[in-house]
Structure 1
Amino acid sequence: MKSIGILGGTFDPPHLGHLIIAEEVRMALKLDEVWFIPSQEPPHKEKAYIGAPHRVEMVNRAIDSNPSFKLNTIEVSRSGKSFTFDTMKLLTNENPDVKFYFIIGADMVEYLPKWNHINDLVDMVKFVGVKRQGYKLNSKFPIIEVDIPLIEISSTNIKERLNNNMTIKYMVPEAVENYIKGKQLYEKR
């Protein structure tokens, strides 16, 4: 049976923190692959700052150098809010020979009780919680904990830096930085 990690998010933009999380979980759990799934419209946030085509392209560029990382556009292919339950139901039906591990940051663990169809979701996937500064991995739901190097990079911080004409070098892969600059994304609106 194949083991695949799922890392979902807006990836607005994708950064080195996302890549570190994916690689650390992949190695710790001996996963065959990690699938990056950009969301169309996340249920817990406002709309993404940048449209899905740009975010998909940035993820593609960010993961290009790692053969164990794959891009899956299942959520951007459908309109409306992207609920994890709907996505995982489709993926598990399409891939009956795969064991899925859904990777979440410690900040999302506390929201699990509010997730759509959480009890059914827990039966479909194994949740993997990665530590994040200022959050604990306490949950009534089963969570596999994976320690990762604490690196405080966030998409919000990157957007703020770009908006203030500050560098994002070493915060995002060079290919992502070049794409952002080339397309003039995240500039003051």
Structure 2
Amino acid sequence: MSSAPRIGLFGGSFDPPHVAHIALARTALEHLRLDELHWIPAGQPWQKARQLASGTHRAAMVQAAACGEPRFVLDRSELDRPGPSYTIDTVRALQAERPEAEWFLVIGADQYLRLSSWRQWQELLLRVTLAVAGRDTAPPTLPPHDVSALPHRMERLPMAPIDASSTAIRAHLAAGRPAAELEPTILTAEVARYIDRHGLYRSPPTPEPARS
């Protein structure tokens, strides 16, 4: 009898996706022995106040970042669902489609520390194994007291520090500098080309392209 598929969920605004996102995704694939890793661009992230690039652009950039790895899956669950994007809603829907799978939620250490602010986080702990990224030389991240009080499954994903952030990338581009200057250490060539081709993160914001 075959074992249950192991599926990772990797959510975020991906505005834009950069090399640290890719490194974490690849670490999760190998460390957790995943059959699939779903990249899930947020539709309406309720904890972010700023305006994001359109879902169409962010999905296209994730597709560009994930190219070449067949276990990476672009998942439009939150982009196609109206209303605020809550992880628990996404997990419920995906688990209903594939109840036989074993599920892992890939998050950063900062998200782990804020987990008790997430919608219905107690149910989330029952449904998934948390895969928490942390620097490979740092001590394990300890959960906040209310999270540690509940039994939950957690795997640590050892990561070397990577100096890349979406905020710094957007600032670079808002200053009128090309994305190509950031490859390959910050952006992949595919993502950089997409950003420059569409003029993303300039002022004024680039309109969303027509959906085919």
- TM-score interval for Structure 1 and Structure 2 normalised by the shorter chain: over 0.9
Match of 1:111 in 2: 114
Query: How do residues 105-144 of structure 1 correspond to structure 2 at under 5 angstroms?
Result: 105-131=108-134, 137-139=141-143, 140=148, 142=152, 143-144=154-155
In structure 1, what is the equivalent of residue 182 of structure 2? Answer: 168
The number of equivalent residue pairs is 189
Give the aligned residue type for 1:131. Answer: G
What RMSD over aligned residues (CA atoms) do the two structures have, in Å? 1.8
Q: 1:134, 1:152 → 2: CA distance?
A: 16
Kept after mapping to 1: 8 A contact 2:10/2:25? yes
Of 62, 67, 72, 1:64 maps to 67
Asked if the contact 1:41–1:48 (Cα under 8 Å) also holds between the matched residues in 2, the reply is no
Partner of 1:177: 192
Misfit runs of 4+, over 3 Å: 132-136
Specify whether residues 168 and 188 from structure 1 end up closer, same or farther in structure 2 by C-alpha distance, changes over 3 A only: farther
CA-CA distance at 1:90 after TM superposition: 0.4
In 2, distance between residues paired with 1:185 and 1:113? Answer: 34
1:76 is matched with 79
- Which residue, out of 151, 155, 160, partners 1:149? 160
Amino acid at match of 1:144: E
TM-score by length of 2: 0.84
SS across alignment from 2:159: coil
Q: What SS class does the counterpart of residue 142 from structure 2 fall into?
A: coil
- 1:180 and 1:134 map into 2 onto residues whose CA distance is 34
Q: Which ranges of structure 1 fall in alignment gaps of 5 or more residues? A: none
Post-superposition offset of 1:16: 0.9
Q: Is the 8 A contact 1:16 1:153 kept in 2?
A: yes
1:20-62 CA deviation, whole Å, 9 max, x = no partner?
Answer: 0010111011111111000111121125421100000111111
Q: Structure 1, residues 114-164: CA drift from partner, whole Å, max 9, x if none?
A: 111111111111111001699962111643111012102111111011112
Unaligned regions of 5+ residues in structure 2, if any? 205-212
Q: Which residue of 2 aligns with 1:159?
A: 170
Separation (CA, whole Å) in 2 of partners of 1:135 and 1:168: 31
Q: Which has the larger radius of gyration?
A: 2
